[in-house]
Amino acid sequence: MMRPLLKYCGNKNEEDLKITSQSAASYLGFVFVPGVKREVRPSDVKQWLSKHPNSKNKKLVALFVNATIDEIQHVISQLPIDVIQCHGTESPETVANIRAKTGVRVWKAIHHQLNGRTEMTRYAGIADGYVIDAKVSGQWGGTGQTFDWKAVPEYISEGKRQRVPVFIAGGVDTSNVKQLLAYQPDGIDLSSGLEVNGEKSTEIITQFEGVVCK
Ligand SMILES: O=C(O)c1ccccc1N[C@@H]1O[C@H](COP(=O)(O)O)[C@@H](O)[C@H]1O
């Protein structure tokens, strides 16, 4: 069985980055969403990256929620961002515009709901990938909540139809990832499940990768 791509999101200080840059993740995520608990500033991220050369081996993902092009440009002009993750209610037109104006790949988050697959079809030919997250009232993500994984196959098959990767997110952790692996997702995106008291934990990441990467 192919192991899924890993994205470790919500790196919010130098120590988090130090830990995740030594991990098996292909992607490291940073949250540029005003007011949320994992919000970071591009100038800080730039400094952390310069101190941890292992991070050069990772692809960097900048996460936004309904940000303007100017806000996105402000971040990507300072950092070597490989992927922009749109985690709000950005329309297909907005995603296409972000892609065209920045020249950076864009992943669209879909908050799981009954018509989730139909929602994905709206972005066909526009999004370069998807992150499927739990829908939690009043929050955009990073909630540690799972959704009903029986829906995962339909998201994966739509991703295959569009020929783009689908990352499964929302409450994935060491205790449940084996169940998720049975669906063979292209990628897994997690934040809360790697943390102890809100900080990324080397022990937890080692345990997690012991399950995923064996
Ligand atoms: O990580 C955050 O704090 C965050 C804030 C706002 C929007 C998205 C956020 N993170 C994304 O949420 C999911 C799942 O996270 P978790 O594992 O349940 O904590 C993931 O896609 C993160 O990229």
Concatenated DSSP letters for 45-56? HHHHHHH-GGGG
User: Which of 177, 87, 174 has the alpha carbon at shortest distance from 136?
Assistant: 87
Atom 15 of ligand 1, residue of closest alpha carbon? 142
Residue that has been written with the tokens 């063979």 in this structure: 184
C-alpha–C-alpha distance, residues 77 and 49, integer Å: 15
C-alpha–C-alpha distance, residues 198 and 214, integer Å: 26
Domain ranges of the chain: 5-212
Question: 3-state DSSP call for residue 117?
Answer: helix
Q: What local confidence, expressed as pLDDT, does residue 32 receive?
A: 98
Q: What local confidence, expressed as pLDDT, does residue 62 receive?
A: 98
Ligand 1 centre distance from Cα of residue 168 (Å): 11
Q: What local confidence, expressed as pLDDT, does residue 2 receive?
A: 84
C-alpha–C-alpha distance, residues 34 and 127, integer Å: 24
Ligand 1 centre distance from Cα of residue 133 (Å): 8
Please give the ipTM for the structure prediction: 0.98
Residues with CB under 6 A from ligand 1: 9-10, 29, 31, 33, 36, 38, 63, 65, 87, 131, 133, 140-144, 169-172, 189-193
The CATH number of domain 5-212 is 3.90.1530.10: no
Q: What local confidence, expressed as pLDDT, does residue 168 receive?
A: 98
Give me the average pLDDT of each 10-residue run along the chain (214 residues): 93 97 97 97 97 93 98 98 98 98 98 92 98 96 96 97 98 98 97 97 98 92
Q: What local confidence, expressed as pLDDT, does residue 115 receive?
A: 86
User: Is the Cα dihedral 200, 175, 60, 148 positive or negative?
Assistant: negative
C-alpha–C-alpha distance, residues 89 and 181, integer Å: 28
Residue 100 exposed, middle or buried by CB count within 10 Å (0-12, 13-18, 19+):
exposed
Enumerate the β-bridge partners of residue 199: 196
Which residue type, as a one-letter code, is found at position 17? L
